[in-house]
Structure 1
Amino acid sequence: MEGSEVQQKKNSMYKPSSPGVESTRVAARSSLVDSFRGCGLKGMRIVKEDLKKRILIPEYLRLAMRDSIRFKNPNAGQEHVGDLKEEVAPEAPMVVFVNSKSGGRHGTVLKGRLQELMGVEQVLDLSIVKPTEFVQYGLACLENLAALGDNCAKETREKIRVVVAGGDGTVGWVLGSLAQLYKQNRFPVPPVGIIPLGTGNDLSRSFGWGGSFPFAWKSAVKRSLNKAVTGPVCRLDSWHIVVSMPAGENMELPHSLKYTDECSLDQDLVVEGEWPEKSTCFEGVFYNYFSIGMDAKVAYGFHHLRNEKPYLAHGPIANKVIYSGYSCTQGWFCTPCISDPSLRGLKNIVRMYIRKVNCSEWEQIRVPSSVRAIVALNLHNYGSGRDPWGNLKPEYLEKRGFVEAHADDGLLEIFGLKQGWHASFVMVELISAKHIAQAAALRLEIRGGEWRNAYLQMDGEPWKQKMDKKYSTLVEIKRVPFQSLMISGE
């Protein structure tokens, strides 16, 4: 590759605002097709030693980063520098995060296979090393050495790529940690590839990494790493969520949500219900979807069932079977008594407001009376590879005032699901979801009344939101001002 081409490729990889970074249009695929594609049926043979040359970080830098992370000190690894020959950074220095608890037995076995291919120091077990520690100490170690004139460390830091072996939640955790680099003005931000180990793996599907762990996984590991070396970089929107509720309630939050003292809600919108003098706030970031209603209630019950009886689910297929069976018991498919307040539509408790692109004013959107779940979707993959928003025709888009959906367009696609039967037909693409809106920002006012709890989830992590009979709870979602960088596995 000529020098100009190399520089052009580097720029497209590491500048979030660069026009060379590809826009992402996502297509849903089936798990079975993805599994066979991951087997490497194209016949391309990857030589182990050639791959190692392309991704293996020089030993002194590996040890320096290891010690910096271990001792939580970015300068702790400088003793490994010593008298060096002129070291050269590899083509695509790589670090892999492995969730050894994902994918049944595969997580642990995959960790060992990766360590054979690229060394122990470049494979980080998330149960031991947190991604925030890698960012604050490992990458900082390279930056400090580069500042001292180490060109190899400088080039390694500029080229480094990250691969995550895990599910959507694990990928989101790593992306959120890397996002700290934007806030700290530490560039470039490493792009991220995926080895899917979770149940849904919608982020993985969206960027061409497949929907499940491949059958021929040993050869597929090399192919995945090779794709992470050569794959182009795409952009991904992320969304910041803030929930403000009356003070005094203690809640069990998923790990992706944290309590915060600063409740940065938009003050331009006046709520319809009463607003408490004191409130409690928590916040988080999601990449795929946010939902409220029956789908979140089913997910919440399933997660608790799986935690209480872990022997019921040993892998993605078992999880899906149990999830489907559990959803039939929750009133999602059959509503025994429509007069029961807990089974009425969301319009009884939710007021929805949106802000459109380049618009500063909030607009109230009517919640359809039949809707029992509302989903705000960022990707085209939802529920293990389905596309409930659909590939809409230009005439329909124009009629509704919509635009074609992309993962980096700054918009959420908001749709409704009426009940389990409707959701099932939507998931197999026999009918469409109830299209509600496209929005650059979303606000929900939840008013309890006779309802005691609402159920919410984001990126597969559900929680039970307590509601007050008198005061409103507010949920506000806005796009994070910078985008995450994803490596395309296509």
Structure 2
Amino acid sequence: MNVLVFCNAKSGGGCGGQVLSAFQKELGAECVFDLGQIKPEDVLSSPEVLAKAKSGLRLIVCGGDGTMTWIMASIDAVKEKKGLDSKRYRVSIATMPLGTGNDLSRILGWGGKFRSACLKAKPWLEEVCSAETKRLDRWLACVMPSAEHQHDASGIPTIPEVFSVHEYDTKPLGGPRHELISRGLHYTESFARYSEEMLIQHDQEMRSMPSLNDRPFSEASDTGKKFDRNFLQVIEEDERRESINIDNQQNLEENDNEKKNEEDDFSDQGEEDASSAMSFDDRGRALIDSHVVPSESVLKNGSTWRSYDGTLSNYISFGVDAAGAYAFHSARRAHPKRFSSRLKNQLLYAWLGLQATGGCCGCDGPPPELPAVLELSLCDPNGQWTKIQLPQGCRGLIVLNLQSYAGGRDLWGHTSSFRKPNDADGLLELVTTTSIFDLATKLVTTNGFGGHARRLCQASEIRIRLTTTIHMQIDGEPWIQPPATVHIKAIGQADVLCRSSSAGCCAN
């Protein structure tokens, strides 16, 4: 039987250890691996596994969507290193629901949550061996911090471990240079090449844009309105504080000579006021020029800059839902013992999400309205980019690959106005939400009541420019992202196993 099992013993509230024991008794320890102890790439590249993969190898991955995406990237890495194609390295994946949402497991028919039947190894193996193989779209998200965040600590924030960090120099001596700074769980050389292609495209577009210094100030001001006003206000406040501190320091040093310099001080103050009034437009323009279109100044100067990328198989989102997820994950990392059961986790997720997104009194304010801070563009088959207007009041944007979100909810729903979604059609579905209550309502009404989120569009390639700091998440892994350009592009497909019947050990 050409089957291998990957599982983390600590997953599923400790159920992972029981799963490992059950399958080791059926298959033997040489076919069952603990992801907490070994890297899947090392297993999948071993001579024994390479030999099995020639005739067709099936994997059972016990975990959530993130674990599945990790194994898919490991398969890509092995094929790339060994120079193998899909005919000489035939590996397909089934999933056992041991995560939180388990949306990929639901879509493929393996169930939405862990049950005692999952510990019956023999029926599971029989189901896996009879499962049908299908294709699943995979996507690469490349995040390129904007110019002003390239050389400070906030430019590369605390990002999920799935991301690889790259450093590029677009105009060094001897040609463009690319260096891998940090290797993430999803890294392969082909993904890095995809990122470079995105950089080249981004570079060409940015170089073709006129500099704000070449535009009339009124036009530059209009452009500046698209950027984060709060950020500019912070800068102005800092400048005023710095000016006050300097004045106070000078007053202390010159206190003994105050009378002597009184007339000079009065004269200087008058000149300074006149100078400030005359240079108001110049100072405002300088503020806008220092916060131009993300990455424009870096690319025009050919400076060294960093970006990071990772793959997704389920979704990537911006705004309100990511803010709620970030609050939950941060609390769980700080106090892991408090998150001890599935029901308790769900209640804490709801409460922390409300606090983080303006859903209750005494909490943080809601995330910003996205039309003011996020610019969305889609690429057509001819390579032409078109800007898409976000609906007013929108505070959340969710980009879907699967029609299963947050534990089986179909946010897109059924409609004849768009092409019917399919997780192997090379298209992503984009939906929006206005608040945490709007999202909660959609999650309830999509569960058998025919509801859906607000549909925006479908796309095969997406570019998003963020002009302020915002919450993001990729397949359930959230972080806080400073201003950046995010490029999402298809990177091929994976072979997954779709359960062929609705009865048996995997019933929902």
Provide the residue aligned with 2:13 in structure 1. 104
Q: Give 1:294 deviation, angstroms.
A: 1.3
Cα separation, 1, equivalents of 2:410 and 2:425 = 17
Other structure's SS at 2:6 match: strand
TM-score if structure 1 supplies the norm length? 0.71
Deviation at 1:337, TM superposition (A): 11
In the alignment, does 2:455 pair up with 1:432? no
Count of paired positions: 366
Q: Which residue of the other structure, out of 427, 431, 445, is the alignment partner of 1:415?
A: 431
**What is the match of residue 135 of structure 1?**
44
Q: Give the aligned partner of residue 503 of structure 2.
A: none
1:380 is paired with a residue whose SS is coil
Match of 1:199 among 100, 103, 111: 100
Q: Does 1:350 align with 2:374?
A: yes
Specify the alignment match of 1:185 in structure 2: 84
Give 1:297's match in structure 2, choosing from 318, 323, 328.
Answer: 323
Q: Is the 8 A contact 2:54 2:90 kept in 1?
A: no
Go from structure 1 to structure 2 and tell me whether the alpha carbon gap of 1:337 and 1:176 turns closer, same or farther (over 3 Å shift): closer
The answer to whether structure 1 residue 363 and structure 2 residue 392 are counterparts is no
Q: For each residue in 1:183-236, what CA deviation from the matched residue of structure 2 results, as whole angstroms up to 9, or x when unmatched?
A: 3334333000011111100010010000001133433x3322211111010110
Partner amino acid, structure 2, of 1:258: S
CA distance in 1 between counterparts of 2:353 and 2:440 reads 11
Structure scoring higher RCO (CA < 8 A, sep ≥ 6) equals 2
| Distance across 1 between alignment mates of 2:367 and 2:5 | 45
Alignment of 1:39-54 (within 5 A): none
The secondary structure found in structure 1 opposite 2:414 is coil
Are 2:404 and 1:381 equivalent residues in the alignment?
Answer: yes
Q: Structure 1 residues 129 and 111 mapped into 2: Cα distance closer, same or farther (>3 Å)?
A: same
Whether the 8 Å CA contact 1:182–1:189 is kept in 2: the answer is no
Contact 1:269/1:362, CA 8 A, preserved across alignment: no
Return closer, same or farther for 1:372/1:207 CA change in 2, 3 Å cut-off.
same
Give the equivalent residue in structure 1 for 2:306.
280
- Secondary structure of 2:455's match? strand
1:34-433 → structure 2 map (5 Å cutoff): 55=1, 93-136=2-45, 138=46, 140-143=47-50, 153=51, 157-183=54-80, 184-186=83-85, 187-219=88-120, 221-245=121-145, 246=147, 247-248=150-151, 249-261=155-167, 262=178, 263-264=195-196, 265=198, 266-267=201-202, 269-270=205-206, 273-274=292-293, 275-277=296-298, 278=303, 279-333=305-359, 343-356=367-380, 358-392=381-415, 394=416, 397=417, 402-428=418-444, 429=446, 431-433=451-453
Structure 2 match to 1:34: none
Which residue does the alignment assign to 1:486? 496
What residue identity is the alignment partner of 2:495?
L
Report the secondary structure of 2:346's partner residue. Answer: helix
Match of 1:237, SS? strand
Match for residue 474 of structure 1 among 476, 485, 488:
485
- Of the structure 1 ranges 268-277 and 415-424, higher mean CA displacement relative to structure 2 is found in 268-277
1:48 counterpart residue number? none
SS in 1 for 2:323: helix
SS of residue paired to 1:406: coil
Tell me, yes or no, if the aligned pair for 2:319 and 2:367 is still in contact at 8 Å. Answer: no
- Conserved in 1, the CA contact under 8 Å of 2:41 and 2:78? no
Deviation at 1:434, TM superposition (A): 1.2
Q: Which string of whole-angstrom CA distances, capped at 9 and with x for unpartnered residues, describes residues 348-400 of structure 1?
A: 110000123x23111100011211110110001100110000022x2xx2xxx
Query: Helix, strand or coil for the counterpart of 2:329?
Result: helix
Q: What is the SS of the residue equivalent to 1:474? A: strand
- For 2:90 and 2:471, locate their aligned partners in 1 and report how far apart those are by CA, in whole Å: 35
For 1:369 and 1:223, the matched residues in 2 are separated by 51
Q: Alpha carbons of 1:345 and 1:337: their partners in 2 closer, same or farther (altered >3 Å)?
A: farther
With over 3 angstroms needed to count, the CA separation of the structure-2 counterparts of 1:218 and 1:142, relative to structure 1, is: closer
Residue identity matched to 2:71: V
Counterpart residue type for residue 442 of structure 2: V
Q: 1:96 to 1:370 in 2, by over 3 A?
A: same
For residues 403 and 269 of structure 1, do their structure 2 counterparts lie closer, same or farther at Cα, with a shift above 3 Å needed? farther
1:332 shift after superposition:
4.4
CA shift for structure 1 position 269: 4.3
- The DSSP-based 3-state class of the residue aligned with 2:29 is coil
Q: What's 1:29 paired with?
A: none
Cα 1:404–1:354 shift into 2, 3 Å: same
Kept in 1, the 8 Å contact 2:471–2:480? The answer is yes
C-alpha contact 2:62 2:98 (8 A) present in aligned 1: yes
Q: Is the 8 A contact 1:337 1:343 kept in 2?
A: no
| Overall identity of the aligned pairs, in % | 28
Distance, in Å, in 2 between the alignment partners of 1:337 and 1:217 is 41
CA distance in 2 between counterparts of 1:134 and 1:164 reads 13
Question: What is the TM-score when the length of structure 2 is the normalising length?
Answer: 0.68
Question: Conserved in 2, the CA contact under 8 Å of 1:181 and 1:189?
Answer: no
User: Which residue identity is paired with 1:301?
Assistant: A
Q: Does 428-437 or 280-289 show the bigger shift? A: 428-437
Structure index of larger Rg = 2
Kept after mapping to 2: 8 A contact 1:286/1:458: yes
Q: Distance in 2 between matches of 1:388 and 1:175?
A: 25
Look up the match of 2:462: 442
Equivalent residue of 2:471, what SS? strand
Aligned-partner SS, 1:276 = helix
- Report SS of the residue matched to 1:216: helix
Q: Which moved more, 1:184-193 or 1:226-235?
A: 184-193
| Contact in 1 for aligned 2:355/2:363 (Cα 8 Å) | no
Task: Determine if contact 1:95/1:162 at 8 Å carries over to the other structure.
Answer: yes
Q: Post-superposition, which runs of at least 4 consecutive aligned residues in structure 1 deviate over 6 A?
A: 335-338
In structure 1, what is the Cα distance between the partners aligned to 2:377 and 2:79? 29
More helix by share: 2
Aligned CA RMSD, in angstroms, stands at: 2.1
Compared with structure 1, are the counterparts of its residues 420 and 157 closer, same or farther at alpha carbon in structure 2 (3 Å cutoff)?
same
| Counterparts of 2:367 and 2:341, CA distance in 1 | 32
Distance 1:178 1:391, change over 3 A: same
Contact map agreement 1:97 1:124 (CA 8 A) in 2: yes
Instruction: Assess if the C-alpha contact under 8 Å between 2:6 and 2:59 holds in 1.
Output: yes
Which deviations, in whole Å up to 9, do the C-alpha atoms of 1:411-447 show, x marking residues without a partner? 0000101111111121122542111110000100111
